[in-house]
Amino acid sequence: MQTRMAAAGLDRYVSFNPDNIYYLTNFANMVHERPFVLVIPRSGRPQFVVPQLEIPHVKTRAIGDIEVVSYFEFPAPAGLAWSDRFKELFEAGERVGVESICPLQIYMEIPGERVCVDIVDDVRMIKSAYEIGRHVYACGLATDAHNALLAEARPGLGMAETSAKLRGMIMSRLLADDPSINPTATRIIAVFQPGSVSHDPHNFTDIDMRMAEGGPHVSVVNAVMNGTGAEVERTFFIGHVPDAARQTFDVMMEARRIAFETAVPGELLSEVDRRVNDHFRRAGMGDRLLHRAGHGMGVTAHEAPFFADGYERPIEKGMCLTIEPGLYIDGVGGFRHSDTVLIGDTGPIALTGGPTELDALTFPVRS
């Protein structure tokens, strides 16, 4: 972090993004209107401006040598505001790095020359050995929960019930493995869509929707487990595969193969998306796309980098992303498998798993 700051000619860096602050300090902020701002000098220890009320939690969770600088309350009388304490941390004429997510109300209080640059976000993209171990763990747990969802698939199974059960399963396992996990850094989504809505992949308007014969259903486990993201998703059927779905499933599977093949170190992240989309267009499905081929994983379950056309940045060893090319056809349904992969020396290593082929994802009608 400080090496990159020096390379960018910065005297200080201001981090406001709670995910970046969690990454740097292990303190997960339950975001509200009282500002938490981390100020990182080019050398020496970071200073963390926090409301007095939160000092005990910062001290409970924060790791590393951090100086806590507190203010009493927000709003506050003149001279006692967070910004009064904050401004004291700078010297005259400094060059200060600021995140692109920084809110105006924080930005306006930063003295010196302000430079918009996302250094923490860049550092977050390449996982350390410790982080890789945590992703392997989280992805294993996500896979187990997702397999449990598939094992229960049957007509009439309701989403609210399934979701509560799987979330309970993941939370229980997390707590059994580590009673000190941080609930503020834990968010679990475990849901599915039946064939009637899966063409609209973010549609969870009806939380009581139910599985039905046929498909394509799409299952989703996307979770941040104690500050580590994991995602696994599958397209599945119950009883039979509608004729209109077979060909599209195959086109999606070929896109997935292309994405896995293209996602090697040195290639551009954008190239994965472009090759997938070229394949979709060749198959006459260029207008069935709704999203890029994948997104990064880290202290959240949805972040940079992206397998996205226009994201012209090389793939690097140690990146962790989803591979999830998808097709969406109104009246037929949605087609998407997602796995979380780690970029290794020669290509992606899947950290999540589960059946991928049509036969293995067509379940008998259980009751």
Binding site for its own copies (CB under 8 A): 30, 32-33, 52-54, 56-57, 60-61, 73-78, 80-81, 98-105, 107-108, 116, 179, 183, 200-205, 207-208, 290-292, 295, 302-304, 306, 308-311
Residue placing its CB nearer to its own copies in the complex, 133 or 310 = 310
Element (H, E) at 216: strand 214-225
d(Cα 271, Cα 314) in Å, to the nearest integer? Answer: 9
Residue placing its CB nearer to its own copies in the complex, 33 or 357 = 33
Q: Is 63 exposed, middle or buried (0-12, 13-18, 19+ CB in 10 A)?
A: exposed
Residue placing its CB nearer to its own copies in the complex, 40 or 185 = 185
Q: How far is the CB of 157 from its own copies (least distance, A)?
A: 18
Q: How far is the CB of 183 from its own copies (least distance, A)?
A: 5
Q: How far is the CB of 282 from its own copies (least distance, A)?
A: 19
Residue placing its CB nearer to its own copies in the complex, 77 or 266 = 77
Longest Cα pair distance anywhere in the chain, in angstroms? 72
Element (H, E) at 84: helix 82-87
Chain Cα centroid distance, residue 142: 13
d(Cα 226, Cα 185) in Å, to the nearest integer? Answer: 5
Residue placing its CB nearer to its own copies in the complex, 109 or 213 = 109
Residue whose token pair is 């000092």: 55
Residue placing its CB nearer to its own copies in the complex, 223 or 361 = 223
Q: How far is the CB of 244 from its own copies (least distance, A)?
A: 20
For residues 107 and 86, the answer to whether their CB atoms sit within 8 Å is no
Q: How far is the CB of 17 from its own copies (least distance, A)?
A: 9
Residue placing its CB nearer to its own copies in the complex, 10 or 98 = 98
Chain Cα centroid distance, residue 207: 22
Centre a 10 Å sphere on the Cβ of residue 292 and count the other Cβ atoms it contains: 22
Q: How far is the CB of 344 from its own copies (least distance, A)?
A: 24
Residue placing its CB nearer to its own copies in the complex, 49 or 361 = 49
Q: How far is the CB of 238 from its own copies (least distance, A)?
A: 24
Residue placing its CB nearer to its own copies in the complex, 105 or 128 = 105
Q: Is 329 exposed, middle or buried (0-12, 13-18, 19+ CB in 10 A)?
A: middle
d(Cα 208, Cα 206) in Å, to the nearest integer? Answer: 5
Q: How far is the CB of 315 from its own copies (least distance, A)?
A: 15
Q: Which amino acid is at 307?
A: F
Q: What is the token pair recorded at 359?
A: 């036969």
Element (H, E) at 306: strand 303-307
Map residue 44 onto helix, strand or coil.
coil
The CA distances from residue 21 to 12, 110, 172, 185, 268, in Å, are: 15, 18, 27, 12, 28
Q: How far is the CB of 58 from its own copies (least distance, A)?
A: 10
CA-wise closest residue to 229 among 326, 137, 145, 151: 137
